[in-house]
Every structure is written in C-alpha cells, then in structure tokens.
Amino acid sequence: MDDKVREDVRVRRMAERGDYDRSTIDAILDEAYVGHVGFVDDGRPVVIPMVVWRFNDHLHIHSANKGRLASVCAGTAVCVSVTHVDGLVLARSAYNHSMNYRSLVVHGVCEVVDNPAERTAALQALVDHFAPGRWGALRPMKAKELAATVVLRVPLEHAAAKIRRGMPGDAVEDAGFPVWTGIVPINTAVGQPLPDPTMPPGDLPGSPVRR
C-alpha cells in the first residue's frame, strides 16, 4: 500500500482487495450512476443516494439549492461510496460465500462550486457523460435554472477502491464437498431507449441511440 494513503481511507478488512490507483478509482466512478453520500447531520449519520460524476480531479454531486445536502454538506467532511455488484460467489460453506464487486470510497471536504462558468462546465460534463454530445442539443440552460442548482465537489485525493473477482475461496478440506459452487453473474446494462410520446415528430438530435 502507498505510504501516502491516509489512515481513514485505507482498506482494513481484506486489505489485499484495496487499490489506490487513480485509474482504478476513475474507472469505477465513471461507470456509476449514483453514489451514496454520507454526512453527519446534528451528530447523526445520513446517507443519501445522489447522481455522481467525475470532472477533472473531483467527484461531483448536484442538488437543488433548497436541499439539505447543499445546506449541511458545504464545507464539511463527507464520505461517498460507489458500488458495482458483479456476481454472487457461491462457495461450499456458508462462511466462504461472497460477492464479486468493485467499490469506491472517497473521503473529503465537500466544496461548493461557486463560479457560474465552472458550474455550467460541470453540468455539461454530467449530461455529456451519460449521453455523449447531448448538451449542445438541449434547450439552453436559463440563468434561474443555474441559480437554483448547487454543484458540490469532493477531491479524489483520499479515495480507495476495493475489488473482488473470481471463484469462491473455499478451504482446501472442503474441495470435495458435493455442492454446486461457482459464480452467478450480476449484469447491469442499458436497455432500448423509450421515446417520450409527447416529442415532436421527425428525426431529432440528441438521441441516445447510436446511429
């Protein structure tokens, strides 16, 4: 493990599954739709699912100006976790059952992106991340919409990935036990887009279907 990894980020259980490389961290974040944002509100833990995306060297979150996230999290410590479940790991013993997964935990102080141009750039990155090239086809953002949107960011400096892959890790003495053992893959995939029936007719730009 890298010496510069801060103690609160270090993977403790199954430490050999930890990975602190930015390329690993970026790949897990870039595949995510939501992250689970944890913060302390009046001494109590709160976890809220939020859309997350990467822009430059930060994990970004956006929210309504009036939201609790904006009022409580700005300038305070948060912990954001992203998880992709890849499979059920069915072992010979209950004890050795597991899951295959790729997860990410980011610790940091949540910062409000105040500058309107930076905020717009971050929102464009969000739209174009999920639907490449779509931002330019949209009805342009109004000043009041931008003003009603809070963009928050957490540096990716203190982050850890944790990954499990492969077959069950049964004990050697269990090898001959007569039970089915292996992996049940869990797959997440994008389906066929469903057009809004109120859309004007014609061949419109911004379609998520690659042509």
Q: Give residues 172-191 in contact with a copy of itself (rule: CB under 8 A).
A: 174-191
Residue 26 or 36 having the CB closest to a copy of itself: 36
Q: Does 24 bind a copy of itself (CB under 8 A)?
A: no
x/- contact string, 44-73, with a copy of itself (CB under 8 A)?
xxxxxx-x-----------xx-xxx-----
Q: Which of 142, 146, 80 is nearest to 119 (CA)?
A: 146
Least distance CB 133 / a copy of itself (angstroms): 11
CB of 111 to a copy of itself, least distance (A): 16
> Considering beta carbons, is residue 74 or 88 the nearer one to a copy of itself?
88
Q: How many residues of this chain interact with a copy of itself, rule: CB under 8 A?
A: 93
Q: Which of 108, 119, 120, 89 is nearest to 14 (CA)?
A: 89
Q: How far is the CB of 24 from a copy of itself (least distance, A)?
A: 16
The conformation of residue 141, written as its DSSP 8-state character, comes to: P
- Is 67 or 155 the residue whose CB approaches a copy of itself more closely? 67
The reply to whether 15 sits near a copy of itself by the rule CB under 8 A is no
Give the span between the Cα atoms of 123 and 150, in whole angstroms: 10
Q: Is 79 in the site for a copy of itself (CB under 8 A)?
A: yes
CA 33 centroid distance within chain: 6
* Residue 65 to residue 71: CA distance in whole angstroms: 8
Distance, in Å, from the CA atom of 178 to the CA atom of 89, rounded to the nearest integer, reads: 16
Q: Which of residues 128-147 bind a copy of itself (CB under 8 A)?
A: 130-131, 134-135, 137-139, 141-142, 145
13 sits near a copy of itself (criterion: CB under 8 A): yes
- Shortest separation between residue 187's beta carbon and a copy of itself, angstroms: 5
Q: CB-based burial of residue 124 (10 Å sphere; 0-12 exposed, 13-18 middle, 19+ buried)?
A: middle
**Torsion of Cα atoms, 29 then 31 then 33 then 36, to 10°:** -40
